[in-house]
């Protein structure tokens, strides 16, 4: 019998380098300059050498005066180090129009509304292809698209800036924590930068402790206090106390940053296998080692049940784990073990705050109402033991999970639906399949609906294939023009049609298949094609929560049977309340 197999080399991490034009000579040159010259190459393992990281995870970016290297509000997956030249970081937010994100006036929305009265005969008709009003320029450099600002001296005169010195890093926090860039960085003179993708930066931090300390220090100085201040537990602390917490906080990272790819593969595995594959952050039965705060991503809170684990709830950004146990310890003086395990779902960044600080600064200053809540919760431990299968399936596990049963929570976690802040949920027992929602969406969006009334179904609820406006919008990573961005006022992820160049990066990145590439037409219904290659011009389309219309998402307003709602699944109680109407 013939053996039908083909032998190939196993794919490896650096098969596709960030820049295949990067020469060994350039890498040698980089190894001569700080901070790489100060790194001990022997600390790097053979599988991940320092030279390999520089060769494969970095590229040299040459900028001209006016180039916008980092734009505030964008999501990025790389950090930069200045090699030569001058770049500045803006300390004040730049006007939205200047960086290509015009804010829509209310009267403009009204005009747009009137325009809908005249329904176009064809789908996806565009009156303009390029944005003639933008003050942001685009320059194509091979496969790369570089944005540049006009009138840089004027901008520098009107806004406070800080010059970045050669050897300094920027953009590392947003790249590592997958948060929005908080400031813009502009080249004022010709500059050369080293761009490092997050995978490389992560390894550099792992094997070069000084770099890790440096980046963690930067985060501690610039962002941690803001993050803690937004967390209700630490909101009442004064500056000095907050500083103490910041200094003692430890940073930990679990899971895979590019969670969207393994998640799709893991769908084939059983629920037990999937839970077992998730990296453990804290294990049930262990003594709590500080308070865990979720900085980014999601974590599954589970309890042992038979040979597997049962999902109790999921935690997102700003939520704490181990608080009840620590409180019990502090109050009674008895050692308490963790009642649940915490596992990373995809990728999670956590902050660990030492127990003694939580006791001194949080519990002692906690308002009486909060204390009563915690006391009640710990009292309930005795009444409803963690391993009681009947109570945990039928009754709520915690106040935030209202009535959602374990199976529903597990479904939401497994499908990564807890990422959605505006998930379209359809109650199938009320939905008459009339498609009024689809028709309304089509009427509001160029005769082409921005969602499909189809999707995963669980417990008579359909989670439709519509953009969920995720808390962790992986679609925004890698957009070359920043066309896809979060609208500051509504929080919706919106695509600027005139800025979109149709590269499909966002559509390929979206793990929920909520972005579709569509060919565009002119007013006569003719396809608009690229004059060079004669292929149709594509635009990325997705639900924009009817951002340019008055009154909110039309799909929800159009449903006559109260069957459709946009629900924030980062808070499971919202879904529970909606189901229990």
Partner 1 sequence: MSSFRIRRYRNSLGTATLLLCFVAYLSWCQQHLIDTRLDTGYLLYGCVIVLLAFHWRKRLSFLPLGKASTWMQFHIYTGLAALPIYLAHAGFQLPQGRLELVLSSLFTLTFVSGIVGLYVTRTYPQRLTNASQQVLFDQIPAAQHLVAQQARQLVLQLVQEPGTTTLARFYQERLHTYFEQPRGWRFTLRPGIQTRRALMSQLTSIQRYFSAREQVAGDQMFQLIRQKDDLDYQQALQTILRGWLYLHISLSYSLFVVGAVHGALALNFAGGAQ
Residues that bind partner 1 (CB under 8 A): 113, 116-117, 428-436, 439-440, 443-444, 453-454, 457, 460, 462, 546, 549-551, 554, 556-563, 580-581
Tokens representing 36 are 């790489």
Q: What is the smallest separation between the CB atom of 380 and partner 1, expressed in angstroms?
A: 27
Cα torsion angle, 389, 390, 394, 397, sign: negative
Angle subtended at Cα 167 by Cα 181 and Cα 205, rounded to the nearest 5 degrees? 70
Tokens 């930067």, residue? Answer: 218
Q: How many CA atoms lie within 13 A of 161 on its CB side?
A: 22
Axis crossing angle, helix 323-332 with helix 368-383, rounded to the nearest 10: 90
Q: What is the smallest separation between the CB atom of 440 and partner 1, expressed in angstroms?
A: 4
Q: What is the smallest separation between the CB atom of 437 and partner 1, expressed in angstroms?
A: 9
When the beta carbons of 57 and 436 are compared against partner 1, the nearer one is: 436
Q: What is the smallest separation between the CB atom of 2 and partner 1, expressed in angstroms?
A: 25
When the beta carbons of 4 and 581 are compared against partner 1, the nearer one is: 581
Q: What is the smallest separation between the CB atom of 390 and partner 1, expressed in angstroms?
A: 25
Distances from the Cα of 485 to the Cαs of 76, 476, 490, 503, 546, in angstroms? 11, 7, 12, 15, 15
Burial string for 521-541 (b: 16+ CB within 10 Å, else e) reads: beeeeeebeeeeeeeebbbbb
What 3-state class would DSSP assign to 75? strand
Q: What is the smallest separation between the CB atom of 104 and partner 1, expressed in angstroms?
A: 15
When the beta carbons of 397 and 453 are compared against partner 1, the nearer one is: 453
When the beta carbons of 358 and 558 are compared against partner 1, the nearer one is: 558
When the beta carbons of 394 and 457 are compared against partner 1, the nearer one is: 457
CB-based burial label for 511 (10 Å; 0-12, 13-18, 19+): middle
According to DSSP H, which parts of 255-405 are helical? 260-266, 271-277, 323-332, 355-357, 368-383, 389-394
When the beta carbons of 315 and 462 are compared against partner 1, the nearer one is: 462
CA separation for the pair 62, 76 (Å, rounded): 18
DSSP-derived letter for residue 225 is: H
Q: Which helix (H) or strand (E) holds 53?
A: helix 50-56
When the beta carbons of 376 and 460 are compared against partner 1, the nearer one is: 460
Tell me how crowded residue 353 is: count the other CB atoms within 10 A of its CB. 25
What 3-state class would DSSP assign to 15? coil
Tokens representing 212 are 């890790």
When the beta carbons of 216 and 443 are compared against partner 1, the nearer one is: 443
When the beta carbons of 119 and 210 are compared against partner 1, the nearer one is: 119
Q: Which helix (H) or strand (E) holds 54?
A: helix 50-56
Burial string for 371-392 (b: 16+ CB within 10 Å, else e) reads: eeebeeebeeeeeeebeeeeeb
Q: What is the smallest separation between the CB atom of 459 and partner 1, expressed in angstroms?
A: 10
Q: What is the smallest separation between the CB atom of 551 and partner 1, expressed in angstroms?
A: 3
According to DSSP H, which parts of 384-510 are helical? 389-394, 406-414, 436-444, 505-509
Q: What is the smallest separation between the CB atom of 483 and partner 1, expressed in angstroms?
A: 23
Is the bond preceding residue 35 a cis peptide, omega within 30 degrees? yes
Angle subtended at Cα 339 by Cα 337 and Cα 340, rounded to the nearest 5 degrees? 125
When the beta carbons of 359 and 574 are compared against partner 1, the nearer one is: 574
Q: What is the smallest separation between the CB atom of 284 and partner 1, expressed in angstroms?
A: 36
Q: What is the smallest separation between the CB atom of 428 and partner 1, expressed in angstroms?
A: 4
Tokens representing 335 are 């050692």
When the beta carbons of 476 and 554 are compared against partner 1, the nearer one is: 554
Residue 513 neighbours by CB under 8 Å, 6+ apart = 465
When the beta carbons of 380 and 432 are compared against partner 1, the nearer one is: 432
Q: What is the smallest separation between the CB atom of 549 and partner 1, expressed in angstroms?
A: 6
């Amino acid at each position: 019998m013939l053996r039908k197999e083909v032998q190939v080399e196993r794919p490896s991490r650096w098969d596709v380098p960030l820049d295949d034009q990067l020469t060994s000579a350039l890498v040698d040159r980089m190894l001569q300059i700080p901070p790489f010259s100060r790194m001990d190459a022997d600390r790097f393992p053979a599988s991940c050498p320092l030279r390999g990281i520089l060769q494969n995870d970095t590229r040299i970016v040459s900028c001209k005066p006016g180039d916008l290297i980092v734009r505030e509000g964008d999501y990025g997956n790389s950090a930069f180090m200045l090699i030569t030249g001058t770049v500045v970081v803006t300390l004040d937010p730049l006007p939205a129009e200047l960086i290509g994100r015009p804010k829509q006036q209310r009267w403009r929305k009204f005009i747009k509304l009137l325009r809908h009265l005249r329904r176009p005969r064809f789908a996806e008709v565009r009156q303009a292809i390029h944005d003639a009003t933008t003050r942001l320029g685009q320059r194509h450099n091979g496969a790369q698209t570089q944005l540049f600002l006009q009138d840089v001296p004027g901008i520098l005169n009107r806004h406070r800036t800080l010059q970045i010195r050669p050897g300094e890093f920027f953009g590392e926090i947003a790249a590592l924590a997958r948060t929005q860039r908080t400031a813009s960085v502009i080249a004022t003179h010709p500059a050369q930068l080293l761009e490092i993708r997050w995978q490389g930066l992560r390894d550099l931090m792992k094997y070069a402790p000084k770099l890790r300390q440096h980046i963690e220090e930067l985060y501690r100085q610039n962002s941690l206090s803001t993050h803690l201040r937004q967390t209700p537990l630490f909101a009442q602390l004064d500056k000095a106390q907050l500083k103490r917490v910041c200094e003692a906080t430890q940073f930990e990272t679990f899971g895979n940053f590019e969670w969207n790819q393994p998640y799709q593969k893991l769908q084939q595995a059983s629920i037990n296998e999937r839970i077992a594959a998730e990296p453990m952050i804290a294990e049930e039965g262990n003594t709590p080692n500080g308070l865990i705060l979720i900085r980014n991503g999601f974590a599954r809170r589970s309890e042992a049940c038979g040979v597997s684990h049962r999902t109790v709830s999921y935690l997102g950004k700003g939520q704490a784990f181990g608080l009840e146990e620590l409180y019990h310890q502090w109050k009674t003086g008895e050692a308490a073990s963790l009642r649940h395990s915490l596992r990373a779902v995809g990728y999670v960044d956590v902050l660990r705050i030492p127990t003694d600080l939580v006791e001194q600064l949080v519990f002692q200053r906690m308002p009486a109402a909060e204390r009563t809540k915690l006391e009640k919760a710990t009292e309930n431990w005795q009444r409803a033991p963690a391993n009681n299968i009947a109570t945990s399936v039928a009754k709520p596990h915690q106040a935030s999970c209202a009535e959602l049963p374990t199976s529903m929570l597990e479904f939401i976690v497994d499908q990564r639906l807890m990422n959605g802040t505006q998930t379209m949920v359809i109650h199938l027992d009320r939905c008459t399949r009339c498609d009024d929602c689809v028709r309304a969406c089509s009427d509001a969006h160029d005769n082409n609906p921005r969602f499909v009334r189809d999707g995963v179904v669980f417990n008579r609820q359909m989670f439709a294939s519509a953009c969920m406006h995720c808390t962790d919008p992986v679609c925004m990573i890698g957009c070359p023009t920043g066309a896809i961005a979060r609208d500051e006022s509504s929080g919706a992820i919106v695509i600027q049609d005139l800025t979109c160049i149709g590269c499909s990066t966002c559509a390929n990145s979206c793990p929920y298949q909520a972005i579709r590439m569509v060919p565009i037409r002119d007013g006569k219904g003719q396809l608009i094609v690229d004059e060079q290659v004669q292929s149709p011009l594509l635009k990325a389309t997705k639900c924009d929560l009817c951002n340019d219309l008055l009154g909110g998402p039309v799909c929800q307003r159009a449903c006559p049977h109260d069957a459709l709602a946009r629900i924030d699944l980062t808070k499971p109680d919202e879904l529970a309340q909606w189901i229990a109407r």
